[in-house]
Structure 1
Amino acid sequence: MRRRKIIGGLLSAFLVAAGLGSTPALAQSDGSSSIKVGSSGLPIPRFVSLKSARVNLRVGPGTNYAVSWMYTKAGLPVEIIQEFDNWRRIRDVDGTDGWVNQALLSGNRTGIVAPWLKDKESTVPLVASTAPNARRVADVEPGALGNVKECDGAWCLMRFGSHEGWIQQDLIWGVYPGEIIDD
């Protein structure tokens, strides 16, 4: 059976154009610190995704603050690290942080495959199950963006276009190590 290779082409172009592809993001909360609850009643930090294809990142929590960046791709995972009224301070895969209105964020979970391996000659296996020696469904390039369906603490079930399979959880930016996500 021929394996398919899933690429992060569009995401790669976006990350390079946005300046996000210049340095790998290794920093991701390890989930070991005590989790706080924000004014929304939800935990902080937590991962969400961008709802809109045009999201202004501001230097402060309000429209009176300057725009420091504009995201141009819906679905990118970001981490909420602070809340103020209806504004959320987020951090992206590159470690850049700023404020966005909560209306521009979605609870849909997405993840970027091993962005720290971008620009290396490697792929990440997408497998049919978490069993040892599971059939490889596809090879996913670092930087590819996918939808997170569920995670069991060690593996995440993800969808990339028409391909669905399991990827080791520690190879995904957009979920915490050990985090359980039920579909």
Structure 2
Amino acid sequence: MPRFESFRSNQIYLRAGPGFQYPIVWVYHRYNLPVEIIGEFNVWRHVVTPDGGTGWVHEALLHLTRSFIVIGARHTLRATPTATGTPVAYLDKGVIGVIRTCQANAPWCAVMVDGRHGWLRRVDFWGSFSGEAIK
């Protein structure tokens, strides 16, 4: 820990504490939204969302799929891990996809968005740690 996981459902309740007795502070409607796990208590996970929100989620509402969310402005998904690679798609801020692989300390990661495979610069998305290897 910390580590990344993602939402398993289109409706996730983020709670103020680790239990159903705590109030809901946020409701998220984004399947596969990446979240950073920063704490654990029994079956509850303390998470940080891409927008900086924090709260507690039951472990059953998370899965190990390594997803990402595009940050900043529009970015280009490329056929090769170079700035001159052929464009595969243009990804706007907020687009969610799946990380297929990232080499340790590599600036580009292989990703998939809506069935399209390509390469995206690590600085263009949220969902991995700097220099992290993902297989």
TM-score by length of 1: 0.69
Gap runs ≥5 in structure 1: 1-43
Which structure carries more strand by proportion? 2
Q: 60, 77, 87: which is aligned to 2:17?
A: 60
Counterpart of 1:170 in structure 2 is: 123
Q: 58, 61, 64: which is aligned to 1:101?
A: 58
Q: Any idea what the Cα deviations from partners look like across 1:56-95, whole Å, max 9, x if unmatched?
A: 1111101111111111221111110001111000010111
Q: 57, 60, 74: which is aligned to 2:31?
A: 74
Question: Partners in 2 of 1:79 and 1:132 — Cα distance?
Answer: 28
Corresponding residue SS for 1:181: coil
Identical amino acids, percent of aligned pairs: 38
Q: 122, 133, 144: which is aligned to 2:95?
A: 144
Give the aligned residue type for 2:86: R
Question: Partners in 1 of 2:61 and 2:80 — Cα distance?
Answer: 34
Which structure carries more helix by proportion? 1
Q: Is the 8 A contact 1:111 1:173 kept in 2?
A: yes
Corresponding residue SS for 1:170: helix
TM-score by length of 2: 0.92
Whether 1:160 aligns to 2:113 is yes
Q: Is the 8 A contact 1:148 1:157 kept in 2?
A: yes
Corresponding residue SS for 2:98: strand
Gap runs ≥5 in structure 2: none
Question: Partners in 2 of 1:54 and 1:111 — Cα distance?
Answer: 18
Q: How far off is 1:132 after superposition?
A: 5.6
Whether 1:90 aligns to 2:47 is yes
Aligned length, in residue pairs: 133
Q: Is the 8 A contact 1:154 1:177 kept in 2?
A: no
Q: Which has the larger radius of gyration?
A: 1
Considering only aligned residues, what root-mean-square deviation do their CA atoms show, in Å?
1.3
